[in-house]
Amino acid sequence: MQSSELETNKIRKDFPILTRKINGKPFVYLDNASTTQKPLSVINKIVDYYSLYNSNIHRAVYDIAEEATNAYELTRKKVCKFINANSPQEIIFTRNATEAINLVSYSWGRQNIKKGDLIILSEQEHHSNIVPWQILAKEKNAEIKYLKIDETGNLNLNELEFYLNNHNNAKLISLCHMSNALGNIIPIKKIIDLAHTYNIPVFVDGAQSVPHLTTDVTSLDCDFLAFSAHKMLGPTGVGILYGKKKILEEMDPFLCGGDMIKEVHKENTFFNDLPYKFEAGTPNIADVIGFSSALDYLNEIGMDHIRNHEIELTKYAIEKMSELKQMKLYGDINLQNRGGIISFNLGDIHPHDLATILNEHAIAIRSGHHCAQVLMEKLDVSATSRISFYIYNTKEEINIFINALGEAIRLFQL
Amino acid sequence: MSDDIYREIILDHYRNPRNKGKIDNADVVIHDSNPLCGDQIDIYLNVVEGQIKDIKFDGKGCAISQASASMLTEMVMDKPLTTAKDISKDDILENIGLTNLGPARIKCALLSLKVLKMGMVKYYTDKEPNTAEEMEKDSNLF
C-alpha cells in the first residue's frame, strides 16, 4: 500500500537494507527517530570518496585534495540552502547534534552565563539538551528552569512568559522543536519571537524536526540550531551547528588544534575565520561528503511531501492502535502538532518485553526511556515503546506491526 | 521463541512477585539499575548469624528482570548469605528457564543477582572487612 504522497515502492528500492530478511521475515524498520536507513546514493558517495579522491582537505595543492575540499564545502553550501541560512559560514560540522549543543554550552555558555543567571529548558528535552546545561549551571552557579508539559506533551507559553517577566537574568532558552519521545512539535516561532522581545537568544534542538519538517532559520530567526545527518538518510558521525554569524564571531573556539588557526606563535594564536574556527583537526570528510547525497535525495522528494506522508502514516497507525485493548498512547492527538513518532504502552507488558516479541516478527522498534528520563518521570512511567516513520515506511508495515501487537496481547494474556 | 520466553511461570512471577516490598530496619539495602533498559532493583536483607532470615525486593522493569528477582528471593531465603557468592549466571538462567537469551536481555535476567552479590559485599564490608575484600577480588562475583 503506497501512501498518496510518496511512491514508497520506488523509494524502497533505493535502500539496500530494506531487502533484508530477519528470522525469515521481511525487515520492518520503525526506529527512524533513532537513526534512519541510508540510500544507495549516500553509500556510493562515501565509497567514491575513498576509492577516487581520498585526501585531507583545506591544505594540499594536488588535484584530489582540491576535489575533496570542494566536495566537503559543497555539502556546507547545500546545508546552508536546506535550512535557508544566510551564509555557509554559519554552518559548522560537528560529530552529531549532541556535540553541537556541547560546543555552544562550552563556548557561548562560559562567556555569557554568570552566577544567578537562568537557562530555560523543558521537561521533554533529550538528555543531550539537559546535561551540558546542567554542567554549565553547576560550574557558574546558574539556575535551570524546566517548562512544564501537560498530559498531552504540550508546553504552556504563559509559563515561559512568566519566567521572562519575573527573571531579569534569564539568558538562554534551549528547546527541542520536536520531542524525540512523544513527537510533539512546539510552537517554536512564537517562542523565538517572544524571547527576542526580551533580547534572549533561543537554541533550537532540531535533531527530530529538521529531518521531517521544512526548516527555515531565516524566517524562524533562531539563534542556534543543531541537528544530525544520520537521522535524515545521511551517515553517522556528522552533526550540524547553525549559529547566527554575529554570535558565532564573538564566541571563543571549542576544540583547538589544526585547521582552526590562522597563525600560531610561541606565545599566542590567531584563530581562523568562521566556520573553520570551530572545526579543529581533520573532520569526518567522507561522511560529510556522503551527507550531500542525502540532502539531494530529500530535496528531490520534497520536505512537504515527506511531512504529508508521515501525517498519513501516523493517522493510520493511531487509528489501528487505538482499536487494541489496553493501548495507552502518549502525545498530542492533533496530527498537525506532532511528527511521525508514536510512544505507547500496551497493558502491563514492559516495553522491552514488547520489543523482544516484535523482534521475532522482524520489526525494529525502540523501547526504554528514549534518553528523556525527566519526561518519563513526568509521565510517571519507567519506559515506553516507540515507533517512528520515514519516507520508506508503508501502511502494509503498520499492518504487520498491528498483527504482532496482537501476538503480544495473546502471549501476555491481556 | 517469544512463546519460550514468556511462559506461564515468568508471567506468574511478573504479575504476582514473591517477596516483593521493603523491610523496615533491614541490615542491608542495596540498589542498582540497568541503564540500557531502565530496570531497577532494590534488595533488602535481614541477616542473622550469616543466614538470610528475610529478603525482599522492590523494583520496576521488564518481565524478565522482575520475574528473575522474584525467583532469586525464593532461591536464597533461609540460606547462608555467602551462597550468593556461588550462584552463577547459568544457575539463574536455568532457574528461570531461559538459556537462550540474547546479550541485551541477559542483563535483565542477571540484574537481581548482581544486586544480591553487591549486598553481600556491603554486609561484610561493615562486619568483616577482610572477608569483604576477598569477596570483591573474586572474579566470579560479578
Q: What is the pLDDT of residues A271-326, one digit of tens each?
A: 999 999 999 999 999 999 999 999 999 999 999 999 999 999 999 999 999 999 89
Q: Decide if B48 is inside a domain.
A: yes
Mean pLDDT rounded to a whole number for chain A = 96
pLDDT of residue A120: 98
Q: Which residues contact B82 (CB under 8 A, 6 or more apart)?
A: B50, B120
Task: Establish if B36 touches chain A: CB-CB under 8 angstroms.
Answer: yes
Q: Which residues of A259-330 form beta strands (DSSP E)?
A: 261-264, 269-271, 327-329
User: Is the pLDDT score of B141 beyond 70?
Assistant: no
Backbone angles phi, psi at A340, to 5 degrees: -85, 50
Concerning whether A371 is annotated as a catalytic residue, the answer is yes
- Rounded mean pLDDT, A95-108: 98
Structural domains in chain A?
A: 8-30+302-411 (3.90.1150.10), 44-299 (3.40.640.10)
Question: Is residue A178 very low, low, confident or very high in pLDDT (cuts 50, 70, 90)?
Answer: very high
**Residue A360 to residue B60, Cβ atoms within 8 A:** no
Q: Does residue A106 come out as left (phi exceeding 0), alpha (psi in the -120 to 50 range) or beta?
A: alpha
The amino acid at residue A128 is: S
pLDDT band at B1 (very low <50, low <70, confident <90, very high): low
Q: Is the pLDDT of residue B139 over 60?
A: no
Given a cut of 60, whether residue B103 has pLDDT beyond it is: yes
pLDDT band at B100 (very low <50, low <70, confident <90, very high): confident
Cβ of B38 within 8 Å of Cβ of A407? The answer is: no
CA distance A339 to chain B (A): 25
Is the peptide bond preceding residue A275 cis, with omega within 30 degrees of 0?
A: yes
* Distance (Å, whole) CA A25 – CA A1: 18
Say yes or no for a CB contact (<8 Å) between A368 and B38: yes
Pairwise CB contact (< 8 Å): A353 & B15 = no
Q: Which residues in chain B are contacts of A351 at CB distance < 8 A?
A: 62
pLDDT tens digits along A201-230: 999 999 999 999 999 999 999 999 999 999
Helix or strand (DSSP H, E) at A404: helix A395-411
A398-407 per-position pLDDT tens digit: 999 999 999 9
Q: Which three cell numbers stand for residue A132?
A: 551540558
Please check whether residue B78 lies inside any domain of the structure: yes
Orientation of helix B103-127 relative to helix A351-360, angle to 10°: 150
Question: Of B2, B61, B64, which is closest to A411 when you measure between CB atoms?
Answer: B2
pLDDT > 80? residue B116: yes
| Positive/negative CA dihedral, B126, B127, B133, B139 | negative
Q: What is the pLDDT of residues B72-83, one digit of tens each?
A: 999 999 999 999
Query: What is the C-alpha to C-alpha distance for residues A161 and A94, in angstroms, rounded to an integer?
Result: 33
Size of interface A-B (CB pairs under 8 A): 46
Question: Complex ipTM above 0.90?
Answer: no
pLDDT number for residue A369? 85
Mean pLDDT of A85-93: 98
A45 residue type, one letter? K
Number of domains composing chain B: 1
> Is there a domain that residue B142 lies in?
no
CATH of the domain at B54: 3.90.1010.10
pLDDT tens per residue, range A56-74: 999 889 999 999 999 999 9
pLDDT given at position B131: 85
pLDDT band, very low/low/confident/very high, at B142 (cuts 50, 70, 90): low
Count of residues making up chain A: 414
Phi, psi dihedrals of residue B21, rounded to the nearest 5°: 140, -160
Three-state SS at B126? helix
pLDDT (0 to 100) of residue B140: 61
Query: Residue A341 and residue A387: Cα distance in Å, rounded?
Result: 6
Which residues touch A268 (CB under 8 Å, ≥6 apart)? none
Contact A50, A64 (CB under 8 A): no
Give the DSSP H/E element, type plus range, for residue A171. Answer: strand A170-176
In this structure, of A9-13, A287-291, B59-63, B77-81, the range with the lowest mean pLDDT score is: B59-63
Structural domain containing residue B83 = 2-135
Nearest to A387 by CA among A321, A336, A303, A292: A321
Does A239 have pLDDT greater than 60? Answer: yes
Q: Is the pLDDT of residue A9 over 70?
A: yes
Integer Cα distance of A350 and B72 in angstroms: 20
The separation between the first and the last C-alpha atoms of chain A, rounded to the nearest angstrom, is 30
Q: What is the reported pLDDT for A3? A: 66
